[in-house]
Structure 1
């Protein structure tokens, strides 16, 4: 079974990014990219420190109850009463949209996502049920209790541009990286080879409450219990590995950089079926879309 394979491809980076921690716990990955861990998930801030109102972008929106933490971190980094030019979403799972409805209204900010993710953000569809039988950890076992949505930010919601650009993030492109969800995207900046990967791959074993608490950097596939199309998930990891990134920040786990990170990502891609796909998982045997005769649409 995948969860029993030794962590050979899950190598630690030779050195984590030289993060500078602010007083509020925000970590700076590079001059204009920072992230903050909020419980079990990361939110990412794009923009230079002190950028000011409407001069920065929030990537994902954390778990429920974190609106105040996100706004305070934003003001600490960008200035008092600073609002984003946009909120861009990797996907719409509960731990990435927890503050989205409240914070988009408060900031009056447009929300961008892939068109295939739109139903889970406009109130019209819920995600497929999780698979608590995979991964062998407490987080997996508890997954039936997690909200499946949908949230409704239709007032602010827009599709990401068809040309691959990312609104208000010059030099970045969005890449469709499905598998974990149908409309999952990652963000890529070629100039310094930086990836904001969402949950296409992650750097902690998210199925384990202990691993989530300890946060030792390890390369892993997407969270098993919520991934509903494993063939697509494999292709997405292969795509991101082929970019030869220098640094990555993911939805779960610490940021990683360097040669060992890149090697671990290549090993994950090469050994994906053995180390990431759960043996016997219901979505490993048959993707969610096939189980419902098409795209999953359960209000």
Structure 2
């Protein structure tokens, strides 16, 4: 499986395309829809789904454009189903950006195993940065898409609506840090890292 990272939008949010020979999945279409569509067309594999690590505005800026372009379902944790349509919840109301309002999600993400085509992964609930945050763990490929929970030498902010610092620290220690040290972490912002490096060097945990 190949992972392609794109730094998108005003906040430099990471969006991802994950693909194998048959399947392509979009994770966190953060912005710049025309750029993402151009990339997808060059890959020449039709997307099968859009997965959201959470529903903050900087992770969903291109959501409706890509959903309309490819007619694919959107998956989001139940705790944030209302956020797509609500700028006060998705945070766009509080930043100097156009308010983000998206169509409702199609499906709910639940903790546990999930498959899309020949892609097999595990969903881990990662609340703290937001109440419905999740991470996508690809055990065969030994990688994780962590959203805004764990960063390279950092953690997600907890000063937005319904964020909670203690919950986030518990999430990282009890969920993410139980993964093997060599798992590569692809975060919502900044460069990739590994679980082992963050156990040793992350100043917050």
TM-score, scaled to structure 2: 0.84
* Counterpart secondary structure, 1:181: coil
Q: Is 1:242 aligned to 2:178, yes or no?
A: yes
Moved over 6 A (4+): none
- Choose 1 or 2 for highest CA Rg: 1
Contact 1:86 1:109 in 2 (8 A): yes
Q: Is 1:75 aligned to 2:41, yes or no?
A: yes
Q: 1:60 aligns with which of 23, 28, 32?
A: 28
Displacement after TM superposition at 1:150 (Å): 5.8
| Bigger fraction of residues in strand | 2
Using the alignment, how far apart are the partners of 1:265 and 1:151 within structure 2?
37
Match of 2:138 in 1: 189
Q: Is 1:233 aligned to 2:199, yes or no?
A: no
Displacement after TM superposition at 1:73 (Å): 1.6
Q: Is 1:32 aligned to 2:2, yes or no?
A: yes
Q: In the TM superposition, what are the counterparts of 1:146-157 in structure 2 within 5 Å? A: 146=96, 151-154=101-104, 157=106
Give a deviation string over 1:68-104, Cα, whole Å, max 9, x none.
011112222x21xx43100000011111000111211
* Structure 2 gap segments, 5+ residues each: none
TM-score, scaled to structure 1: 0.59
Q: In the TM superposition, what are the counterparts of 1:97-176 in structure 2 within 5 Å? A: 97-121=60-84, 123=85, 126-127=88-89, 144-146=94-96, 151-154=101-104, 157-161=106-110, 163-168=112-117, 170-176=119-125
Using the alignment, how far apart are the partners of 2:53 and 2:67 within structure 1?
16
Distance 1:95 1:192, change over 3 A: same
Displacement after TM superposition at 1:115 (Å): 0.8
Give a deviation string over 1:213-268, Cα, whole Å, max 9, x none.
xxxxxx101135437111211112111112124211101001224xxx61333553
Greater relative contact order (Cα < 8 A, sep 6+) = 1
Contact 2:51 2:76 in 1 (8 A): yes
Match of 1:254 in 2: 191
* Counterpart secondary structure, 1:248: strand
Contact 1:194 1:248 in 2 (8 A): yes
Q: Is 1:41 aligned to 2:13, yes or no?
A: yes
* Counterpart secondary structure, 1:84: coil
* Structure 1 gap segments, 5+ residues each: 1-30, 131-142, 204-218, 273-299
Distance 1:147 1:232, change over 3 A: farther
Contact 2:111 2:125 in 1 (8 A): no
Distance 1:169 1:267, change over 3 A: farther
* Counterpart secondary structure, 2:39: helix
Alignment root-mean-square deviation, CA: 2.7
